[in-house]
Homo-oligomer: A and B are copies of this chain.
Amino acid sequence: MTDTGSAQHPLPTGPLDALTDVPGLRVGHAQRVGDGALTGTTVVLTGEGGATAAVDVRGGGPGTKETDALDPRNLVQHVEAVVLSGGSAFGLASASGVMAWLEEAGRGFRVGPDPAQVVPVVPAAALFDLGRGGDWRARPDAGLGREAAEAAARTDVGAPVAQGNVGAGTGAVVGGVKGGVGTASVVLPSGTTVAALAVVNAAGSVVEPRTGALYGQLCEGLVEIPEPGRHRAAQETLAAARQESAKRQASSVQPLNTTLAVVATDAALNRAQAHKLAGTAHDGLARAVRPVHLLNDGDTVFALATGDRPLPEGDLFGNPALPVAGALNEILAAGADVLTRAVVKAVLAAKGVDGEGGVFPSYSDLYGD
């Protein structure tokens, strides 16, 4: 079998170290900041014709749309976009704007003889950022979703992806520390790319509390332990910020642990294989966020497989009936690893916010770059 344990650790990143290293995928962000708003929407757009898609929902408090259509037993084979949004379940409305945009482009699931007769299946998941900007009712709507889709369409294929306080990460907070969008990619020895985009909005637990190090880096053996005095000062600063946030907006001290992600590959996965990829990617979340998948988590991972590359040969156990199982295993392992790294990059890219809805220092504010 292919040993996925250690031989190829660490793998090289793709040219952009981003989701857009998977050819054909584009990412667009749109956000509302100010006048009580601190929220946004991120759209991952596939090439025309869509990608094989799957989802695995592990959080106990998810807010999702069109996830049942992704069950491998069900009808729809491909999707053309996935939406990650702020605004809790209200923010799922942003997917309607993406649907409208796709329909105008004649893209979607064909349901009639006229090529314009399409229903775009746009799976979406939301994270909780209500009140983070000060106005409880400032949420992404269909218009913002359309903006994000247009932003994605405007980018070149293979364009870099903005990280930090953008799109669905605009209002994201991780236990008082500013969260956001992060993305990463790896290239397997076979040439297959596996990439992830994460929107990190968890309850304080990307930071290991004894040391101040990021869980996602600790688990990598990349042990950069903050100096103890700095960690104590960071804890004090953060406690004060939380108190101040509580004064400004009670909601901001009741965080929800939602991390949303898209994991993608150019490999030709079928829908069941993509579903397995979405599931094992949650292991990458588990390594970067702690605790995770609880009742107040909406943790949801989508998988997209563009199908450009056949799964390379790579059997398991020397068993000829499993010609690609070893190759799939490598993709599964990489999906978890790259998602851990996307979470770390999200936290490191985020910028601190001091606004109507609260004070959310960034990890860099607290611990330096």
> A residues near B, CB below 8 A?
1, 3-6, 9, 58, 60, 175, 203-205, 207-211, 213, 215, 218-221, 223, 225, 254, 276, 279-280, 282-284, 286-287, 290-296, 316-318, 322, 325, 328-329, 332-333, 336-337
Contact = CB atoms under 8 A, between A and B. Distances in A.
Given A218-B219, A332-B295, A283 B286 contact: yes
Contacts of A215: 219
Query: What are the 3 A-B residue pairs with the smallest beta carbon separation, nearest first?
Result: A5-B204, A291-B333, A283-B286
A291 B4 contact: yes
Contacts of A225: 223
Nearest to A280: B293
Contacts of A291: 4-5, 280, 283, 329, 332-333, 336-337
A203 B4 CA distance: 8
Number of copies of this chain in the oligomer?
Answer: 2
Contacts of A213: 221
A1 B225 CA distance: 30
**Which of A3, A254, A276, A294 has the largest number of chain B CB atoms within 10 A?**
A294
Contacts of A4: 203, 205, 291, 294
A290 B82 CA distance: 28
Nearest to A235: B6
A219 B221 contact: no
A295 B325 contact: yes
Contacts of A337: 290-291
14 contacts: A4-B205, A4-B291, A4-B294, A6-B175, A208-B220, A218-B218, A218-B219, A223-B225, A282-B283, A282-B286, A283-B283, A283-B293, A291-B329, A291-B336
A232 B280 CA distance: 30
A110 B12 CA distance: 58
A284 B284 CA distance: 11
Contact of A325 (B211, B296, B322, B325): B296
Contact of A279 (B58, B204, B207, B333): B58
Contacts of A1: 254, 296
Contact of A287 (B210, B286, B333): B286
Contacts of A223: 211, 218, 223, 225
A4 B203 CA distance: 8
A210 B222 CA distance: 9
Given A5-B203, A6-B205, A329-B296, A287 B219 contact: yes
A5 B175 contact: yes
